[in-house]
Structure 1
């Protein structure tokens, strides 16, 4: 089970990734610029 508090969203490219699997770096653009996703930040109601 993936815990939402361990998910990060990259500030540069918008990729959402699991911090423990990627060693804290974005798997897409390999930067360390990320924001914490909180349960009340609108997750689940994102406009695609």
Structure 2
């Protein structure tokens, strides 16, 4: 298995935090890892309004 430094996860966490979101992982040995992402719906509506002008 190739291992990294975890920098990508740090960048993801920082990005989601800056948007008032959340990212977390749950892992179970022998089963796998679930990655959860949560972002506020207001960001979606802000994007729609900004791009429709």
TM-score (norm 2): 0.24
Name the one with the larger helix percent.
2
Give the greater-gyration-radius structure (CA): 2
Q: Higher relative contact order by CA 8 Å / sep ≥ 6: 1 or 2? A: 1
| TM value normalised by structure 1 | 0.25
